[in-house]
Structure 1
């Protein structure tokens, strides 16, 4: 039964030898084709030069892969020693690493290069979308000061009207120095309000322009067709969007608000009291001093609010870096694990065949060792034994005497019979017949 199993294993090895060669050739060819596509995506130059360079490189890769796995399939299953097996495994690991380095990543670029480039464009789009939103928020941050400015401006105008009509501050009606000062402060705040409103229109216009760039970029990311023309147009849109973001950063009204707030107190010029009576002039001076204190307090509040706006983190300058398909596959390798697995499997799959052959040969050797000598003797060994027997019979040598002499000199084995002198005088010094 063991003999039949050994024969079946040997027959199986012989039967799959042609299939093994065919499988290695097909896998090497497939790897070469995808390597060719990957190489073409990273080479620059004329179309002819790129074609021949990629063809030569992919051919070399195919030959190298086929030769390497052919050698491994031929030699590894027959190496039985631990040291030899370890050395062969080391060679296999080194060869697999070299194959991955020269072929697998290019295969991955051919399989997932376009998708990886789209991934790069999509992530770049997200970054620029965030930058545009940040720049827009920074530019509009000064709008939060508008309610305080309007409220203060309206208060100064209301006090000026009340003083003019009823003399609410000085007790004397008319348009005197107090009314003049209140109107002056209200006018300055109105100018500041108008400046903030004008900046809002400019910011809105720039933001709309930036959104149009983003819409075009989003369309390019998801559009069908070749990726290279879309990537080029995407880069052009990035340049336009970067200009919009820079303009938004420079459009912020916060620095102007801070300067205007400081001018309210530092540039405060109170008119001379114009009251004809000393008591009225004294009341006017007191009211104007109160107005000065109010303006100083309001100036401090506006200046602090402007400082908070100016302390915001500005949008960092961003530069779009175009990538080749191979570079994109390497950068976003974690997002394309199935493609990488397929690209590597094409090159490393023959290792499975090598290990299968190694297991079968090892099993075959163990089964042959358990067989009796008569069942595992080869035809050549049988012919040699018959030749020895005829020689012994012709010279009249006692076979039992020869075996006894063999036991005294070496381990008895029927294969050692030929090493004795057929004359019966002892072991022969020369090589066996």
Structure 2
């Protein structure tokens, strides 16, 4: 699906005579230097944000909370759905307000969510009075950073092909792209994880470890990225001198998860409080992969669920099949590090009672979007096929979420 990135270039050897001192100039960090390709990617990102707001405007009028209403629902109401309530409660009240916790019958299992996003939400709320607007602002800025990093990874893998813009196009039009525009964790996670992966590709291990540690404060998936970086480090260190000195940095991403487990233990006397919250709230008890598939299949087709939930369980099955296909291709291409990331992700999501949030997780599979772009460059008809097939699915997911229905 992808080709190996080029080896980093080393700086030329200094001559005996020092060059003349250049005139003082403000140096701009590489991360914020924008070339024409970067600006085109960000323009595409902005246009897709505008399209989502247009859709949200229509949803407010077409699907108000009261079907007989003569006025649309409040401006930001379509964006405040489902998991947003958990992030809001954590940011506003903390994890265990008023000595409440998992020992209460009506507990919402909020400790299943890592603290990175709620902490940032609380900080932004000190400047932005509306909690929902604060969450949208975080995702808007983080999403821009994420798509910029995704474009640069694609540019590194497939230089001079225009794959960066095509990768971002496929990514931003994907079925679950709505979750990048709401107060959820996907955009913020990608804003840390993708620059971290990019730093690892450039053998900047300390930077990669620090960014991946920040990603781990947002989602447990940060540890999966850390595992992929560790594999990439081992494969790289086997061919390069001096890289083993950076090995201790690779342990840094585990620190946020360890600190969060310690915090939860201090309040619940349970080192596995995060896992137990996942089990209580989302049926993430361990089951074999074939049991998870079977239970999801039953929920999708045996009419045990309402139609709205059943179709989303069908989407879960499709997303799992797609993930397995991506994994096979990565293994065939010997992209070992990315295969580790996808493999761990699928194992974590596929060993629950039933599948949940796998379509949303595809947003975090950067090898999928880069590989799809690479395929479309070899076979131009793939782009047309993808856009025609994904357009109705993306529209359905967007309308479902913004109108308050379950959307993965």
- Whose radius of gyration is greater, 1 or 2? 1
Question: Which structure dedicates a bigger proportion of its chain to helix?
Answer: 1
Shorter-chain TM-score range: under 0.3
- The TM-score with structure 2 as length reference comes to 0.21
